[in-house]
Amino acid sequence: MFVNLPVKDLNRSIEFFTKVGFEFNAQFTDETATCMVIGDNLYAMLLVEEKFKSFTNKAIPDASANASSLVALSVNSREEADSIADRALDAGGKPTNDPADYGFMYTRSFQDLDGHHWEVFHMDPSAVQGQ
């Protein structure tokens, strides 16, 4: 899966997400875009706004003021959710919601430098039906 996100300053976004703990695929990186590796077969393409506009006729909303999507990232533990969210906040991200503990699921959230809403959560696999 590739999630495409518009960014105002590509280098600033790369610096931010590097501090959060992500790596980038240099093969798909130039001055207009980068491929952020999130996991196996899971990537975020960070595209400068002009490049992003070449893929859609829709206007790019101000993500810091308008919610158009929530990027939810499943992790292996509550501690990993805390670690990722804390690194994002330390790197200049903004808090979105308070941590939420639903017993079977724990979630942390933050906004990246462009206002995109990220949810980092851990769900107890035994709570999922059929597991």
Q: Are residues 86 and 26 in the same domain?
A: no
In DSSP terms, which residues pair with 95 in a beta bridge?
Answer: 110
Q: Are residues 82 and 119 in the same domain?
A: yes
Q: Are residues 73 and 93 in the same domain?
A: yes
- Asked whether 54 and 4 are in contact (CB, 8 A), the reply is no
Residue 89 sits in which domain range?
A: 63-131
pLDDT tens digits, residue range 38-88?
A: 999 999 999 999 999 999 999 999 998 988 889 999 999 999 999 999 999
Q: Alpha-carbon torsion 123, 24, 28, 58, what sign?
A: positive
| 112/118 Cα distance (integer angstroms) | 7
**pTM exceeding 0.85:** yes
User: Which residue reads 């035994």 in tokens?
Assistant: 126
Q: Which of 19-28, 98-107, 119-128 has the lowest mean pLDDT?
A: 119-128
Counting the structural domains of the chain, the total is 2
